[in-house]
Amino acid sequence: MDTLNCKGLYMADWDYEVFWNETMNQLRAESGEQEYNIWFSNLEYLKGGENCVYIKAPSTFYRDQVKNRYQNAIISRLSALIGRNLDLNFEVGPVKTAQNTPAPAESSAQASAGDGKNAQKSPETGAAAANTPVKKAKGKHPQLQEDYTFDKYIIGENNSFAANTAIAISKNPGKNYNPFFIYGGVGLGKTHLMQAIGNSVYENSDNKVICVPSEEFLNEYVEGIAQGKMNAFKNKYRYTDVLLIDDIQFLQDKPGVQEELFHTFNALIQAKKHLVFTCDRPPSELKKFSERLLSRFEQGLKVDLQPPRYEVRCAILKSVAEGRKTSIPDEVIDLVAKNISSNIRDLIGALNTLISYTEIMGKPITVEIAQQKLRDVLASSRQANMSIDNIQRVVAEQFNLSPNDLKGKKKTKNIVFPRQLAMYVAREITDFSTTELGESFGGRDHATVIHSIDKIKGQLLTDPALNSQIENLKRLIKEYTAKT
């Protein structure tokens, strides 16, 4: 079926791809490269319909953000180009984008173009090729893990915004989203994402990249003072292009190194260099940090990594198995993904146990073998899956609060009681210590947790209805955990 648009161009079978591409080009010019890379480059044109265009987004989060922010702009430009009103129809799934699709090989005509003076025969094919300099491959960066790349980072709803922002930063460090502050629980991929930025910048540019744990930064600072080498320390960190510091929370209560980091921060920002930090909590919940350093963290972009959902956990397990060239049955993948949801580190650790077994014993993995070999892991994971994060989310939702309210510093009555209740329930249904609970509730000390638990115990003696409320919360938490 052919139709004629207002510009006199025929479209067979409602093929609007050329108009989609032009719309994307217009939006790239108007929004800028950074914004385009985050929100448009991962959209894939699928097909056209009589009154709509079908496109694919990599996740529901990504789809919803594009619909809320840019749908009207996309529709207006498409409709203007095509000459009729159209709607957008979104699908969700893996997308093919310019970012992950290899560029087409140079044609033989292009390869042999010119007067032939600088051409040479390829020993494999005999085809003429331009005698252009070949960029020498770089060696491994001494501070970066080679397997911490974007290609090996599984993107799902829990991390799509963070991952796409990181990709945009790696393409143009120092431009936007500076500093980039990544926070979340243990084993959720913060370090992987940060180092993926470093690996991408290192491989694709001449920018200097430094990546250090906060402990190493602290030790170098102390050594610089002790040995009178502070100038060397300052020159190292203030004259880099990208500075990546892992686990910034360990610099709490260390005013000297915080002062040095503050000045390093200012020097790099002024020089339009990029800073990336990882942390186990948002800047607002860091204790014993100077206010002016916290304000620097807050001025950039902060992203929160959450535990991956079941589908993403399955994808991670399959990716790891493929990387190890090991076949793992889907029912075993399902067993591990359903029982271990606390973090990615535990998930991969369990799979590596099974892979090691099959490599050593030469036997295929079955569900029965997996259950046997992971008996202790699965037992402890049921405890871990009843995570404090899940408890905080359920309790917060019941009181129309956010998890950050429960972890924050506010002491208003409408927050204090739910916070105490969440601590009490967490102590009841998990084996976490009061110290561990305190850390998960915004870095509070164990005495505060004990006081909160005692407070609820006292109220239970005089308020029978509170017991029903607590039992209902436990039920909701178990149901929520089973679904995640």
Judged by DSSP in three states, 433 sits in coil
- Residue that is last in its domain, among 359, 383, 407: 383
d(CA 282, CA 407) in angstroms, rounded, equals 10
CATH number of the domain enclosing 368 = 1.10.8.60
Res 127: pLDDT = 39
> How far from 75 is each of 65, 165, 372, CA to CA, in Å?
15, 24, 55
In-domain check, residue 146: no
90 vs 44: CA distance, rounded Å: 10
pLDDT digits (tens, 9 = 90+) for 54-95: 999 888 777 887 887 788 889 888 888 777 788 898 898 887
**CA-based diameter of the chain, in Å?**
95
Residue 40, CA atoms < 13 Å, CB-side half-sphere: 22
Reported as half-sphere exposure (CB side, CA atoms, 13 A), residue 439 has a value of 11
Say yes or no to pLDDT of 218 above 50: yes
Say if residue 327 is in the same domain as residue 300. no
pLDDT, mean of residues 323-335: 89
**The CATH number of the domain where 26 resides is what?**
3.30.300.180
My answer on whether 416 and 362 are in the same domain is no
Give the residue, 57 or 107, on which the prediction is more confident: 57
Q: What is the mean pLDDT of residues 385-410?
A: 88
pLDDT tens digits, one per residue of 22-44: 888 888 887 777 677 777 888 89
- Do 295 and 165 share a structural domain? yes
- The pLDDT tens digits of the residues spanning 123-143 come to 333 333 344 445 556 788 999
Q: Residues 287, 350: one domain?
A: no
Decide if pLDDT at 111 tops 70.
Answer: no
The mean-pLDDT minimum among 231-235, 414-418, 478-482 falls in: 478-482
- DSSP class per residue in 96-152: --TTTSPPPPPPHHHHT-S-STTEEE-TTT--EEE-PPPPPPP---TTS-TT-SSTT
Find the mean pLDDT for residues 350-377: 87
State the chain's mean pLDDT as an integer.
82
- Calculate helix-pair angle for 413-429, 446-462, nearest 10 degrees: 100
Do 336 and 230 belong together in one domain?
no
The verdict on 31 and 49 lying in the same domain is yes
Instruction: Using a cut of 0.75, tell me whether the model's pTM lies above it.
Output: no
pLDDT higher than threshold 80 for residue 313: yes
Task: Identify the domain containing residue 353 by its residue range.
Answer: 310-383
What is the pLDDT averaged over residues 422-451? 86
Domain CATH for 441: 1.10.1750.10
Query: If pLDDT is split at 50, 70 and 90, which confidence band does 430 have?
Result: confident
Last residue of a domain, one of 37, 70, 92: 92
Mean pLDDT, rounded, for 214-239:
94
Share of the chain above pLDDT 70, in %: 85
Number of domains the chain contains: 4
42 within some domain: yes
Domain ends where: 64, 92, 120? 92
Identify the pLDDT of residue 93: 84
Cα distances (Å, whole numbers) of residue 363 to 291, 368, 372 = 58, 12, 14
280 and 363 fall within a common domain: no
What band does 437 get if pLDDT is binned at 50, 70 and 90? confident
